[in-house]
Amino acid sequence: MAHFTVIGLGRFGLTASLELIHMGHTVTGIDKDEKLAEQHAGELTQTLICDATDEKVLKDLNLSQSESVLVAIGEDMQSSLLCTLNLKALNVKDIWVKANTSAHHTILSKLGVSRIIHPEEEMGARVAQALNYPMVNDYLSLGHGQYIVDINLPSTFSGRPIQTLLKGYVNTVSCLVLKRGQHIEQSPSLEFDLIAGDTVILCGPRESLIKIAPRLER
């Protein structure tokens, strides 16, 4: 379980926050709109009413305790950029920012944030999945809690069979494809040995995939 901070509790920020909580994480939600923050106080781990464009205010929040900070401020590009600059000044290492326009994106790219997001409303859940499972290149929901995920394997799995990765979940999670450079191995056996740089595509229920995730930490 990790802790995340989401700044901006509009539809996108709230969706990401609730999905992270659904995954078992804790979330601090921040918004300068008192009514909005109070409205969702019972749904998030913690809600704070403050102006994220004020560096002194952010400094008091001890954001270093957060795994990542998501800046989900809406249409106010100036506020989004000021907030991002403040987070950089406070040496917050993992900053994800919602961009609304190409100009917004261009400026954020110059600031060196970890990731720039161009979301539709429903993309909040997808960003939460990526935060929770950062080694995943991409994923596809099949419905009913089933997912296909594309994963870069860490070097720690080199020389070990696929069954090591899936240990305890071979009845629920299957390896559909193994990619090794230009070579693609379809439905590789559990005894197939892995090497550094391999990518695997797994299919299974979200609960099982999340439990496998700690094995993929580099």
What are the pLDDT digits (tens) for 165-204? 999 999 999 999 999 988 999 999 999 999 988 999 999 9
Separation between Cα atoms, residue 57 and residue 71, nearest integer Å: 15
What are the pLDDT digits (tens) for 10-20? 988 999 999 99
Q: Which residue from 84, 61, 210, 192 is spatially nearest to 139, judged by alpha carbons?
A: 210
| Residue linked to tokens 């100009």 | 103
pLDDT score for 32: 92
Separation between Cα atoms, residue 172 and residue 189, nearest integer Å: 15
Calculate the average pLDDT of the chain.
87
Mean pLDDT of 20-28: 93
Whether 176 contacts 144, CB under 8 Å: no
What are the pLDDT digits (tens) for 45-104? 999 999 999 999 999 998 988 999 999 997 789 999 999 999 999 999 999 999 888 889
- How many other CB atoms sit within 10 Å of the CB of residue 138? 11
Separation between Cα atoms, residue 60 and residue 139, nearest integer Å: 36
Question: In this predicted model, which residue has the larger pLDDT, 33 or 215?
Answer: 33
Number of residues that this document lists for the chain: 218
Residues 6+ apart with CB under 8 A from 167: none
What are the pLDDT digits (tens) for 133-149? 666 677 777 877 788 88
pLDDT score for 30: 96
Separation between Cα atoms, residue 71 and residue 34, nearest integer Å: 18
Question: Taking the chain, what is the end-to-end CA distance rounded to the nearest angstrom?
Answer: 17
Question: Which residues make beta-bridge pairs with 70?
Answer: 6, 96
What are the pLDDT digits (tens) for 92-121? 999 999 988 888 989 999 999 998 887 653
Residues 6+ apart with CB under 8 A from 154: 135, 216, 217, 218
Strands 68-71 and 146-152 come out as unpaired
Where do runs of H (alpha helix) occur along the chain?
11-22, 34-39, 55-59, 77-89, 102-111, 123-132, 162-166, 206-212
